[in-house]
Amino acid sequence: MMKIPLQILLVSIWAIGSISAIANSAISATPQTPPPPNTKPGGGLDPSNSFCKKTNQPLTALIPPKTPGSTTAKNPSFWFYIPYAPEDIKKGEFVLLSQDEKTLIYETDFQLPKTSGIVSISLPLSPEYALKEGNYYHWYLRIYCKNSTRSRADLVVQGWVNRVAVTAETERLINAAAPDIWYDSLTRLGNLLLASPQDEKLKRDWYKLLEFIGAQELAKEPLAGPFVVNQD
């Protein structure tokens, strides 16, 4: 049997270890898929223990419960079911951050429309708020209830949005009210329903889209329009 000199053996072991370390480093640097969102308040922000008015349905983010929703829009809209009237809350907050949460993209306070129901908020059209293709963003919606005595939010939902490229296929999916391009399909259908609330086909498509995320019980809730965003 041929004997391998000790120096060569040690160099070989070092080289293998270095290659392994480089490979592991490359794997750890690979961007991870964002974790699942919280479509309803939970954890330490249990709505049953909050200062908020009791409601039949909880605050709900209208997003897929397990995966980030996609958009082709630079300045997409986000939709929520909010079971409160303006007099029930002090204020609401919407915050959009980069995936690593080191960069604040957008932050605003808002008031609710006059009636409770399904409400939307859109990113301003200014270029500094535009989402970049291929990037994930993390958003939070916080509610501060009227009778609360604490400084932190009483209710919080959070989720992710991923901007994808506009293609003929994404346009087809959006026009078909398919859930694949979630934010755009929901926004298109919601705006059409706001304009034509008695359209039976639109109502059926709306039900199917909400059924996809397990929120079909909200399909008959009124569309209350956009949040009233504070301008100061």
- Contact between 71 and 181 under an 8 Å Cβ cutoff? The reply is yes
Report all structural domains of the chain as residue ranges with CATH numbers, in order of start: 47-229 (2.60.40.10)
* Sequence letter at residue 136: Y
Has residue 20 got a pLDDT over 70? no
Please tell me the distance from the alpha carbon of residue 41 to that of residue 51, in angstroms, as a whole number.
13
The pTM (predicted TM-score) of the whole model is: 0.81
Q: Which residues pair with 69 in a beta bridge?
A: 161
Q: Pick from 175, 158, 141: which is nearest to 72 by CA?
A: 175
4: its two tokens: 């391998």
For 160-213, write each residue's pLDDT tens digit. 999 999 999 999 999 999 999 999 999 999 999 999 999 999 999 999 999 999
* pLDDT at res. 42: 54
For 59-104, write each residue's pLDDT tens digit. 999 999 888 999 999 999 999 999 999 999 999 999 999 999 999 9
What is the DSSP-derived secondary structure letter of residue 156?
E
Has residue 45 got a pLDDT over 90? no
Q: Taking the mean position of all CA atoms in its chain, how far away is CA 25?
A: 30
Q: What average pLDDT does the structure give for the chain?
A: 84
Q: What residues have CB less than 8 Å from 61, skipping those under 6 apart?
A: 37, 38, 39, 40, 78, 79, 80, 141, 157, 158, 159
